Structure 1
């Protein structure tokens, strides 16, 4: 197995057929088919079923595609880093981020970093905390901005100030000093990760909840709340300074979270990632 075979395989998957991949790669179809058969023999598995006009990935093929993408990405980043040695800090920082980390303040930190190191570029991956941690484990990214709580074993964590998860809605939706009783009577928009916790908190106080949406993305929660669909449960820093919105705290110690910048504790990271990890502040 070599990088050329992996590049050929991902091209076939991306293009949907061997013939289309051959055109993109500027090679004839027979040698491309030969390379794939050789790869399958080495792996001892069929990677895709060949149809008249398209291919269908097997389970082994789906796994191979994910791994091939990661390996090719790592090879590209490694070459860039080696090429940049001796030319100052330059290259690409591969950073994972949860959606609720994309605040004006944090994006401003990226801008400040680029002012100091204008030859550094960002490759941003977005998803939930567990997807970002998986990305670190598979070397798809160098660092990740995630939210607590999460299993910290195997990671080095740069923790930032703890904050409340708040109820956020259109200004005037609730009384100024609204408490959990008033919030429980409103249609709620819940971030999926905290759905069970929020339900438990309201149920422990014998309060009824009306949940109108459960979402995976903080931006989706915020936009639905801004549209008047309901009250969203979000990290306080994510809602701060959003025009036309108000926040109400639910006094419960379980409704707290903190952003954490993490890296793996068992692998080399680039100088770019090391410096960003040390300099990034909230």
Structure 2
């Protein structure tokens, strides 16, 4: 006997795929009445569905004589085809559900000012290509506030300066930034190659607000204290670009991450001061709460960020957009 051909959707004929599901239940239950009970339908409705399927396929699928219930050879072929279709549809629904859960959602990231890294820029381009429907909110805050808010589970994650990782926060080192002393083009020390450390001790400082408070940038405070600096903090900001602006304006000397101001040095806006080895090294961490309930979008972000930056060395992560080290 030739195999029963399921209707081809391209032929223009209509085929009710629910008939296959009803047929599968009939076969599984080996009874019209039991199938009707399982499907919450009347026996008449189930019998009519079976008849419609047999009419469409032009084959007898089930033989019923008194209490006997026999699946015909054609019925076995249809059963196998129906099970395959049902399995594929079930897998499709699962895959679509998982894809939608991952591809749609919102990520709230708190970031320190300012992250100067071509790898970081490329991460966001890559993340958006991979998850174009995930919404992103980025808020720039002082590192101390970021740590507190992540502890309170008020955001997906944070990227912040952090010397000691608080309990229940997971972390991954993103950047290792070396800070150095600078002055701006309007400062008396600008352009001098013979500046000695003892000449700097009385100079006023432009500082990060968190440094003035002794928070995440306290190594800068420790450096000043150990070297015997006695100048006043005359200006402060929590924003990298504003600290740089005040330095260029000549308010005083101050510390910035070396890799973030290379262009300003080359273009004559800032001048590097002693000591030659810099002031201190500070690590920038990705932080997230260990016990937070995360959405699929947030889990996708954390995994994608960690996997992406693992593909680059620390030197590469600090590189500028033009490829300079």
TM-score, normalization by structure 1: 0.59
Seen in structure 2, the aligned counterparts of structure 1 residues 179 and 138 have a Cα distance that, compared at 3 Å, is: same
Q: Which residue of 2 aligns with 1:239?
A: 261
Seen in structure 2, the aligned counterparts of structure 1 residues 209 and 159 have a Cα distance that, compared at 3 Å, is: same
- Does the CA contact (< 8 Å) of 2:184 and 2:270 recur in 1? yes
- Match among 76, 86, 91 for residue 99 of structure 2: 86
2: distance between equivalents of 1:207 and 1:137?
35
3-state SS, counterpart of residue 95 of structure 1: strand
Q: Which residue of 1 aligns with 2:180?
A: 166
2: distance between equivalents of 1:144 and 1:169?
30
Gaps of 5+ in 1: 1-82
1:146 Cα deviation from its structure 2 partner: 0.5
Over residues 118-164 of structure 1, what are the superposed CA-to-partner deviations in whole Å (9 max), with x where a residue is unaligned? 22331112211221122223322111100121333211111134232
Seen in structure 2, the aligned counterparts of structure 1 residues 203 and 114 have a Cα distance that, compared at 3 Å, is: same
2: distance between equivalents of 1:204 and 1:251?
16
Q: CA RMSD in A?
A: 3.1
Aligned length: 200
Per mean C-alpha deviation after superposition, the further-off stretch among 114-123 and 137-146 is: 114-123
Q: Which residue of 1 aligns with 2:304?
A: 276
TM-score, normalization by structure 2: 0.52
Gaps of 5+ in 2: 1-95, 310-316, 318-325
Q: Which residue of 1 aligns with 2:290?
A: 265
Q: Which residue of 1 aligns with 2:245?
A: 223
Seen in structure 2, the aligned counterparts of structure 1 residues 135 and 204 have a Cα distance that, compared at 3 Å, is: closer
Larger radius of gyration: 2
